[in-house]
Chain A
């Protein structure tokens, strides 16, 4: 609580210190929550892709075995040409779906890179919020000199972290869809 009888200079000093500490602590708390959720999301996506890949491989092998059995059956009973053609068409359709699934199943490589970059940015932002902390600074009851010195010091710290953050993590994923990418031979 700020005493009502405090002189205006002291009141401002106390308010500035409280404001900075509040922004620092609450900002950091919220970013820590976001970071935790991102890490959890990454873990879930990682597990999901492993399961999807395993199921995909199992389905593919099962379809292969089924195809083999059908081929043997067809060879034994010398089927009509239209049956053979129908199975050939089906095989083509299956292959198209398999190729599309292989392209789609590559999403986790990109999402994990994006999540990793977000986490690095969050860590940088938490450093910025940390730099706002007044670390329990007690300012003199009157005068602005100590307040200005403290604000300058904080400003320098924030500036240094912002520069680090800006130059830190290069963007490596620009894909906005899961269609296959460009190919260029040199």
Chain B
């Protein structure tokens, strides 16, 4: 059975590219348009990995990570931040919130899937 990834980003084109790349690598993908949508979808169905943007209207990526880490069944699920932000201060905030890793946009599909394979197979 293929692993499922929750992709959270307010940019439609970014979600489309993420979904395309991850499906091509054999993963199932659930898309969410912002942190709140992502949280709702994560509650409806347990996923194997979460990929989230930081800057989104409403609930941002850091808040989503904190909310997910507060849920029992998401304490050990890898959560990767995929964002335009590359500053060390933001990375430190992400790490403190419970992110498993930090990926700076734009992503290269081969490198992205390599990292995901390392985390969830």
**Chain B residue nearest to A49 in the complex (CB):** B13
Partner of B108, one of A49, A99, A110: A99
Interface 1/0 per residue, B77-118 and A, CB below 8 Å: 000000111110001001100011111111111110001001
Given contacts A109-B105, A181-B105, A186-B95, contact A99 B13 (CB under 8 A): no
Asked whether, in the complex, the Cβ of A180 is within 8 Å of the Cβ of B21, the reply is no
- Asked if B75 CB lies within 8 Å of chain A CBs, one says no
Asked whether, in the complex, the Cβ of A102 is within 8 Å of the Cβ of B21, the reply is yes
- Asked if B76 CB lies within 8 Å of chain A CBs, one says no
Q: Residues of A within 8 Å of B, CB-based: how many?
A: 31
Q: Residues of B within 8 Å of A, CB-based: how many?
A: 35
B contact set with A: CB distance below 8 Å = 9, 11-14, 16-17, 20-21, 54-55, 83-87, 91, 94-95, 99-111, 115, 118-119
Other than A109-B14, A179-B106, A183-B102, give 11 A-B pairs with Cβ distance below 8 A.
A110-B105, A110-B106, A173-B84, A174-B84, A174-B87, A181-B103, A182-B102, A183-B104, A184-B103, A185-B115, A186-B102
A contact set with B: CB distance below 8 Å = 49-50, 53, 57, 60, 98-99, 102-110, 112-113, 172-175, 178-186
